[in-house]
Amino acid sequence: MEEQIRQMYKELGISEKVFSFCKKTEDSLQERFTEIDRVAEYNQCKVIAAMQKNKLSDIHFAATTGYGYNDLGRDTLEAVYADVFRTEAALVRPQLTCGTHALTVALAANLRPGDEILSPVGKPYDTLEGVIGIQPSKGSLTEYGITYSQVDLLPDGRFDWEGIRMAIGPQTKLVTIQRSKGYQTRPTLSVEAIGVLIAFIRTIKPDVICMVDNCYGEFVETIEPTEVGADLCVGSLIKNPGGGLAPIGGYIVGKEEYVEQCAFRLTAPGLGKEVGATLGLNQTLFQGLFLAPTVVAGALKGAIFAANIYEALGFSVIPNGSEPRYDIIQAVTLGSAEAVIAFCKGIQAAAPVDSHVTPEPWAMPGYHSDVIMAAGAFIQGSSIELSADGPIEPPYAVYFQGGLTWYHAKLGIMMSVQKLAEEGFVLQSES
């Protein structure tokens, strides 16, 4: 069997040298992989329990059209999400077009002119800069009289407790906490760390709304931020919780009063959750959620494998090969635009879809610099599927995530090493 597998990788374009190098790393990771499988097992049970409790049935897979009144599937999906995240309420909709949109709805719904947003974890995700108005932008929250303040993490990645205390004022209405590092090189926050931060903020201002941008964090741990005090948790269905099957959508879970505001903002005051046809998507959204824990486990194995491979090749990686994981993103600092491009070509070449196309750097809406994106995805732009993004700017880091199966993630990483080797960046010695 071992020989057959080796032969198959050769047919896919992986050299003997790259194969042997990667195999050594994989063999050293079995203990970590077992731990990941245990978390997936727990989360799988959590999801099944929520589906059973809400008596999920095939009647919930029926399509609604038009206004979408009495969409039992939609209401049950929201009840299941609320149970999985241990919250009072959920808004899970195909009409939430992406993560940025879900975050925009959550912010705009719960803020009024004169209110202030505080980010105590540094600059938020690039697209949120336009939403909030950190970068002047048409329709931003700034245009509606909402202000923003920010406290950066300390250079060693810890919270700036004193800075946060000083930044909370009478206007502070909502604190936004981004769990994942996104396109930054700061550490991703554990759910436990988010809980400590929220508890601290509540000692200063008990009634402030604590919102967590949960993108890429779902099912990585056995608890979610809503279990440690977050009032709202927001994410995208074409990332972790969609399990690779959801073709569109976002979710907002949390306290009833805040989620209700979101529904009124997403549809219309007075209509709220009552409208929003699901057009036959419910079955896919349920099935994606069902698969999400094991899909996330595969993506996590891929991230850890990549960290160990690239560390062994001498690159700086965040997180490093041995530290605990709180999201599925792996950053690798490759040091040059050419190496970033070669890496992304490898990811693309390993894809089931569009493996024959060559990714190139491009100006993307919402991003500062040109970005190269590699993805051969079944769902366009899905980043729970194997994908890599590299902003073409120093330090020339590539952000790698996803993989619907561990085997595909593994092939993608091996292929990235193959492309870097072919262009003379790695594995050049004769040993």
Ligand X SMILES: *Cc1c(COP(=O)(O)O)cnc(C)c1O
Q: Applying CB under 6 A, which residues contact ligand X?
A: 98-100, 125, 127, 178, 180, 182, 213, 215-216, 236
Q: Are 399 and 341 in contact (CB under 8 A)?
A: no
Least distance from ligand X to the Cβ atom of residue 147, Å: 21
Report which residue's Cβ sits closest to ligand X: 99
Least Å from the CB of residue 334 to ligand X: 20
As a whole number of angstroms, the distance between CA 281 and CA 93 comes to 10
Minimum distance, C-beta of residue 182 to ligand X, in the bound complex (Å): 4
Cβ 275 to ligand X shortest distance, Å: 23
b/e burial code for range 91-112 (CB count within 10 A of at least 16 → b): bbbbbbbbbbbbbbbbbbbbbe
The least distance separating ligand X from the CB of residue 74, rounded to whole angstroms, comes to: 20
Residue with smaller CB distance to ligand X, 64 or 214? 214
Q: How far is the CB of 216 from ligand X (least distance, A)?
A: 5
Burial class (CB in 10 A: 0-12, 13-18, 19+), 420: buried
Beta bridge partners of 252: 91, 234
Q: Which is nearer to ligand X, 384 or 414 (CB)?
A: 384
Q: Between 25 and 104, name the residue whose CB sits nearer to ligand X.
A: 104
Alpha-carbon dihedral sign for residues 225, 175, 194, 310: positive
Smallest gap from Cβ 253 to ligand X, in A, equals 16
Min dist. Cβ of residue 97 to ligand X (A): 8
Sign of the four-CA dihedral 9, 13, 16, 22: negative
In the DSSP assignment, the letter for residue 301 is H
List, in sequence order, the alpha helices (H) in 55-209: 72-84, 99-110, 126-132, 161-167, 191-204
92 or 349, CB closer to ligand X?
Answer: 92
CA distance 256 to 297: 30
Question: How far is Cα 125 from Cα 349, in angstroms, rounded to an integer?
Answer: 28
Beta pairing, strands 116-119 & 172-178 = parallel
Q: What is residue 346's DSSP assignment? A: H
Question: Nearer to ligand X by C-beta: 18 or 237?
Answer: 237
Cβ at position 239, least distance to ligand X in Å: 6
Q: What are the C-alpha distances in Å from 164 to residues 15, 111, 121, 149, 153? A: 52, 20, 9, 10, 10
As a whole number of angstroms, the distance between CA 47 and CA 67 comes to 29
Q: Which two tokens stand for residue 371?
A: 């970005």
| Burial state string for 124-137 with b = 16 or more CB within 10 A and e = fewer than 16 | bbbbbbbbbbbeee
CB of 378 to ligand X, least distance (A): 16
The Cα–Cα gap between 412 and 417 comes to 9
CB nearer to ligand X: give 159 or 399.
Answer: 399
Return the number of the residue (324 or 381) whose C-beta is nearest ligand X.
381
Give the nearer residue to ligand X in terms of CB position, either 127 or 416.
127
Measured from the CB atom, the residue of 140 and 178 that comes closer to ligand X is 178
* Nearest Cα to Cα of residue 401 among 242, 240, 206: 240
87 or 401, CB closer to ligand X? 401
